[in-house]
Amino acid sequence: DAAGLRVLVVDDEAPARDDLEFLLRAQPAISVVDVAADATEALRLLQGEHYDVLFLDIRMPGLDGLELARLLLQFANPPLVIFVTAYESHAVAAFQAHARGYLLKPVSADRLSDAVAQIADAKRPRAATPTNSDGSM
């Protein structure tokens, strides 16, 4: 549906990318899953599309995931970033780059569901609290 999340998976390893794409497509909250094999391809896709969230590998040739995440912070409306990596050692740097999550490979369907639910909740518009003209409830 139109309200579903738009997701971009960025990973230079095809098996990891394919597994994540498969798991994400099974999530009812997601309407679009695109994939990129590296950060440069991701930037090209981001020029033409808006994504709600990137599932981003950290270790990639060329521009790595942390560098891409820092570039995204310069966007007017940056997508949220969830890092997907085999390395626990990058967690601090990931959160310094404003990551919304950090999943270790191989990603379990349960952990992924939790991450998607958090993103869907973060993207859900908040209902305005009705107030009377004097400001009271």
Cα 79 from Cα 91, distance rounded (Å): 19
Cα 81 from Cα 57, distance rounded (Å): 10
Provide the residue type at 121 as one letter.
D
pLDDT band at 65 (very low <50, low <70, confident <90, very high): very high
What was the pLDDT predicted at 60? Answer: 95
Cα 29 from Cα 98, distance rounded (Å): 22
The average pLDDT across 39-45 equals: 97
Element (H, E) at 133: none
Where do the DSSP E strands lie in 4-100? 5-10, 30-36, 53-56, 80-85
pLDDT band at 6 (very low <50, low <70, confident <90, very high): very high
pLDDT digits (tens, 9 = 90+) for 11-39: 999 999 999 999 999 999 999 999 999 99
> Residue 101: beta bridge partners?
82
pLDDT over 50 at 1, yes or no: no
pLDDT digits (tens, 9 = 90+) for 72-94: 999 999 999 999 999 899 999 99
What was the pLDDT predicted at 125? Answer: 76
pLDDT over 70 at 134, yes or no: no
| Cα angle 120-123-126, degrees, rounded to a multiple of 5 | 115
Predicted model pTM:
0.88
Cα 103 from Cα 86, distance rounded (Å): 8
The CB density around residue 80, as the number of other CB atoms within 10 Å, is 21
pLDDT over 90 at 133, yes or no: no
Q: Look at residue 36 and give its three-state secondary structure.
A: strand
pLDDT over 50 at 61, yes or no: yes
